[in-house]
Amino acid sequence: MTAYEARPITPGALKELRTTDDAGRPCAPYTAAEGGDPLRCCLRGAAPGERIALVSYAPLRRWAAETWARPGAYDEQGPVFIHAGECEGPAEGRPGYPFSRAGALRTVRRYDAEGAIIGGRLLEIPADEESGFDAAFAEAFADPEVALVHVRAVEYGCFHFEVRREGAGVPLG
């Protein structure tokens, strides 16, 4: 069991993204031909034949809307894959962290309660993938100013998942 919770895109955000994405474009579903596309709604790879969509997503903007943070220039959006229709979310008790394979490079970005980047690191996922992520998150949350962490792929910069400090993301107002 992982020490930290990898958070998928919330059902409310998914409902919005399935209509209009965070760049203002309409959702354009298609059928996954080969599969493997990293689905951020259920934190697994798409299976061949599933209906999916590639949408623009602004995770920090959506978190800031919940918390009244002001990320300013750190607000960014990028491409993510989601199911084109409702899905059941991540499987209960799934092992490890999503989209994890030994040798892959990830950035682990740290954000404060206002949404500003206050650090980060490059993580080459070790053979013991879960322990590697656990150590990176423990390092990040050792700084009391870190409210949440985003994991992104180095190759494309894609957002993979978010981990929050316990209690972060609770609306302040």
Q: Which residue has the tokens 């800031």?
A: 64
* 17 phi/psi in degrees, rounded to 5: -65, -30
Q: How many CB atoms lie within 10 A of CB 132?
A: 18
- Nearest partner of 9 among 82, 78, 117, 79, judged by Cα: 82
- pLDDT, tens only, 68-114: 999 888 888 999 999 999 999 998 888 889 999 999 999 999 999 99
- All structural domains of the chain with their residue ranges: 11-164
Q: Where is average pLDDT lowest: 101-105, 107-111, 121-125, 157-161?
A: 157-161
End-to-end CA distance of the chain: 34
